[in-house]
Structures are given as C-alpha cells and as structure tokens.
Amino acid sequence: MTSEVETLVTADMQEKRGVWENERVSPPVSESDIRKWGIASYWPEKPPRLFWDTDYANGTRWKGIIAPHDFNPFAWPIERPAGREASGPRTAAGSRGMNGGQVETFGVAMHPGDVITSRTRLKDWNERTTRLGLTLFTETEMEWRNQRGELVKTRISTGIRY
C-alpha cells in the first residue's frame, strides 16, 4: 500500500524559516592556529607568507597575519555540540537525502585575536516533483561575524530530501 505525500514541508520548517539560531562563539583566533592551519592546508608546499610571517604580513594591506579563507575557529571544541543520534534505516517519505552543495562568500579577513560568532537559519526551500518523486530543496544559511560585527563569511548549503 502506497500513501501519497502532499508536502515534505513541516510545520517546524515553516516556524523556523528565516529565524537565526544555534549561535556559537569561538575562542580568540590565535596566530599559532592560523600558522598550523596554513601549513596543513598547503602541505607539502610552503604556505603563503601572509599566514605565518609577521614581518611580511605587516607590510601588506591587511597590516598583519590573516587566516586562510577556509580557516575554522570552531575546529577544536573543548566539548562537542550535541549531535543527531543515528536512528536506523529511514523509510518514510522525505527521509532520504543528499547534499546539494554549498556556496561560500567571504567578507573581512580573520586576524589573530578575533572572536567569531556563528549563527544559522533555514533560509528558504523549494518543493517540486522530480524523477525521485516529491523532492524538497532546502537552503540553510550560516553566517560568521567578528567581534566588531563585520561579516567574515556566509555559506548557503542546499539539502535535498525525497
């Protein structure tokens, strides 16, 4: 017996649309963390001097060492945020999913001493019938700002459920 699903959009989704939540605050960004991240990102090549050479970096438009765009000040938490527990095989409509990709946009650079605040929201969704059946495309927006309120990065992630 097959039941027809009218929508994959839940009441919870409608309630949370556009609402910022999950705020996290990073520890201060350290010069040592930036240097190690640069070394790991460019290994086995030498990373750009902007990520480790103070004298060089002071002479650039950034007036000091900055972090690579992909630097994550939340990468080394003392305590891990509560995660989703595995719930076994999923068979309900809309419970199968995949990553639809992401787009990152960068603002100001992160410097040693910066404290980054992250928050997320369900930005929007689009529901339509595809060859997989009723399919829901959701956009989740993540935003990072520094202690001066300047935008450091945004990420729009697309999730696909069917």
Q: How many structural domains does the chain have?
A: 2
Q: Is residue 84 part of a domain?
A: no
Domain that holds residue 151: 10-29+95-162
Q: What is the CATH number of the domain that holds 160?
A: 3.10.129.10
Q: Is residue 38 part of a domain?
A: yes
Query: Taking residues 47-60, what's their average pLDDT?
Result: 97
For residue 21, give both structure tokens.
């939540």
The pLDDT of residue 92: 52
Give one DSSP letter per residue of 25-91, joined into a string. EPPPP-HHHHHHHHHHHHTTSPPPGGGT-HHHHHTSTTSS----TT--TTSS-SSPPP-PPP-----
Of residues 92 and 56, more confidently modeled: 56
Q: What number of other Cβ atoms are within 10 A of residue 1's Cβ? A: 2
Q: What is the pLDDT of residues 106-121, one digit of tens each?
A: 999 999 999 999 999 9
Q: Which amino acid is at 109?
A: A
Q: What is the pLDDT of residues 124-162, one digit of tens each?
A: 999 999 998 999 999 999 999 999 999 999 999 999 999
Domain shared by 16 and 48, yes or no: no
Domain shared by 48 and 101, yes or no: no
Domain shared by 36 and 16, yes or no: no
The pLDDT of residue 79: 74
Domain shared by 140 and 112, yes or no: yes
